[in-house]
């Protein structure tokens, strides 16, 4: 990490020089940088990339890159700087501060070896072609870096969702079973009470008819008494 000791935001840039074993054609530069802005750490606001064959003179127009500040997400993220097929064996990177600190954890290049021997003039000429335009400001994809316990929670949460759905399904099935049992019990009680009532009614009617059939009337005696 680098601390901005100069006055004001921006100030003097951080300068890093890279030396490679052979002349290379560079496509992109990748940086993994922090953006903990509440603690004074932000992604660099601007970057310049210079190229050289011998390492003494970084001539030609540099590659310019601007980054849009992010004051919402404090996670570390990958930042990609396109190098537009620039050629060199030495590369100088200048990073301008957006806050008090710049913290970079990883840096890598996308490049390939250039065959043949190139002079400084040839490289300068190839590097100045179509390099006058600056890339538009960029806000790269955020890659969250979490603690181990947060990663365990994140890994466990997808498993909890299907389990909760299964529990909800089991509860619904149990409720339906209870409702069906209650309906069956109520139906059984109603049917049985009707049968008992019907049986008691039939027994009462049978007893009264039996009493009437047991009464005999002697018509002759009734006629004699009347006379």
Residue 60: count of CB within 10 angstroms of its CB: 21
CA gap 227, 211 in Å, rounded: 29
Given a contact cutoff of 8 angstroms between Cβ atoms, the answer to whether 92 and 16 are in contact is: yes
Looking up tokens 């890093």, which residue turns up? 16
Does 114 fall in a domain?
yes
Does 10 fall in a domain?
yes
Burial 190-200 (b: 16+ CB within 10 A, else e): eeeeeeeeeee
Residue 186 has pLDDT above 60, yes or no: yes
Does 144 fall in a domain?
no
For 186-202, what is the mean pLDDT?
A: 84
CA gap 97, 119 in Å, rounded: 34
pLDDT for 141: 44
pLDDT for 78: 94
pLDDT band per the 50, 70, 90 thresholds, residue 192: confident
Instruction: State which residues form the domain around 26.
Output: 2-138
Does 11 fall in a domain?
yes
pLDDT for 217: 59
Does 152 fall in a domain?
no
The total of structural domains in the chain comes to: 1
pLDDT band per the 50, 70, 90 thresholds, residue 23: very high
Encode pLDDT of 76-123 as tens digits: 999 999 999 999 999 999 999 989 899 999 999 999 999 877 665 555
CATH of the domain at 115: 2.60.120.1190
Phi, psi of 137 (to 5 degrees): -55, 145
Does 116 fall in a domain?
yes
For 58-80, what is the mean pLDDT?
A: 91
Does 198 fall in a domain?
no
As a residue count, the chain comes to: 227
CA gap 52, 50 in Å, rounded: 7
The residues, any chain, with a CB within 8 Å of residue 18's CB and separated by 6 or more, are: 90, 91, 92, 93, 109
Residue 31 has pLDDT above 60, yes or no: yes
Burial (0-12, 13-18, 19+ Cβ within 10 Å), 138: middle
For 8-23, what is the mean pLDDT?
A: 84
pTM summary value: 0.54
pLDDT band per the 50, 70, 90 thresholds, residue 222: low
């Amino acid at each position: 990490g680098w601390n901005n000791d100069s006055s004001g935001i921006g100030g003097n840039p951080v300068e890093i020089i890279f030396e490679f074993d052979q002349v290379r054609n560079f496509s992109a530069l990748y940086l993994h940088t922090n953006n903990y802005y509440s603690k004074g750490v932000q992604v660099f606001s601007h970057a310049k990339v210079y190229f050289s064959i011998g390492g003494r003179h970084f001539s030609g127009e540099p590659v310019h890159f601007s980054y849009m500040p992010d004051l919402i997400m404090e996670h570390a993220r990958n930042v990609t700087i396109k190098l537009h097929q620039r050629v060199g064996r030495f590369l100088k990177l200048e990073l301008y501060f957006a806050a008090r600190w710049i913290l970079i954890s990883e840096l890598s290049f996308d490049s390939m070896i250039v065959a043949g021997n190139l002079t400084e003039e040839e490289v300068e000429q190839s590097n100045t072609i179509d390099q006058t335009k600056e890339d538009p400001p960029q806000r790269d994809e955020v890659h969250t870096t979490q603690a181990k316990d947060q990663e365990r929670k994140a890994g466990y949460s997808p498993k909890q969702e299907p389990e909760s759905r299964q529990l909800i399904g089991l509860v619904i099935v149990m409720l339906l079973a209870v409702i069906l049992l209650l309906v069956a019990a109520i139906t059984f009680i109603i049917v049985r009470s009707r049968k008992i009532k019907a049986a008691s009614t039939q027994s009462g009617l049978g007893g009264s008819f039996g009493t009437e059939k047991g009464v005999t009337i002697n018509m002759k005696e009734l006629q004699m008494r009347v006379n």
